Amino acid sequence: GAGVSQSPSNKVTEKGKDVELRCDPISGHTALYWYRQSLGQGLEFLIYFQGNSAPDKSGLPSDRFSAERTGGSVSTLTIQRTQQEDSAVYLCASSHLGGSQETQYFGPGTRLLVL
Amino acid sequence: GQSLEQPSEVTAVEGAIVQINCTYQTSGFYGLSWYQQHDGGAPTFLSYNALDGLEETGRFSSFLSRSDSYGYLLLQELQMKDSASYFCAVRGDDKIIFGKGTRLHILP
């Protein structure tokens, strides 16, 4: 596609429920990143994929968080047993590694609210 | 550890020039990027420096000094639409690290 897309754009869920967030990166981009941004805060790195593998999972805040990427394209971020502190905007970005300049292109984000 | 430091807020007057600084400490360094984010929007790429010196793109310029682990974003002829948060990001080793962002307030 023309840009990074994410779905859903907004998600309201009850505490304890599981949620799945989807990211469709720009076609051909091998690198995919997930970030979390709380209101008025900076970007918190969650996980990075190179192809289908995740060489860096260091940012996942707990074992309730997991992510996968299949076919080197679409990625899903899953949050199990959601907590109120999980409420944030979850941003996905993709980039094409290979050149000396790595520009990340961000999706519009998924706004998650846990009640 | 790895970290990026940038001011949390900066205020400037419309038409003026403002500089947003960023210092970093990372294992490995491949480049410094700047992103702009308006309220409610996603970050968008502004500039990238891999080598020392000044890169100019229209009203925006970015500077890097690798020996000082320091860079800055320079915004000239400020317009009200420039009111946003600005993030520096450093690519080190296998991932990119973002700073916490600088909120730019522009006064008329």
Which chain A residue shows the shortest CA-CA distance from B36? A106
Tell me how many degrees the CA angle A46-A30-A9 measures, rounded to the nearest 5.
50
Distance CA B78, CA B95 (A): 32
Which of B50, B94, B96 is facing A55, going by the closest CB pair? B94
Per-residue pLDDT of B35-67, as tens digits, reads 999 988 889 989 889 899 999 989 999 999 999
The residue to which tokens 């973002």 are assigned:
B98
Which residue of B42, B44, B95 is in closest CB contact with A56?
A: B95
Q: State the average pLDDT for chain A.
A: 89
Please identify which residue in the block is written with the tokens 């990166």: A25
Q: Measure CB to CB from residue B42 to each of A50, A101, A106 and give the nearest one.
A: A106
* Least confident span in A86-90, A100-104, A107-111, B72-76: A100-104
Q: What is the CA radius of gyration of chain A?
A: 13
Residues in chain A whose beta carbon is closer than 8 A to a beta carbon of chain B?
33, 35, 41-43, 45, 48, 50, 55-56, 91, 93, 100-109
pLDDT value for A100? 44
Residues of chain B found within 8 Å of residue A43, distances taken between Cβ atoms? 43, 87, 98, 101
Query: For residue A74, which amino acid is it?
Result: V
Residue found under tokens 């000396």: A100
pLDDT tens per residue across span A23-49: 999 998 988 999 999 887 788 889 988
Looking up tokens 């430091």, which residue turns up?
Answer: B5
Structure tokens at A75: 């990625």
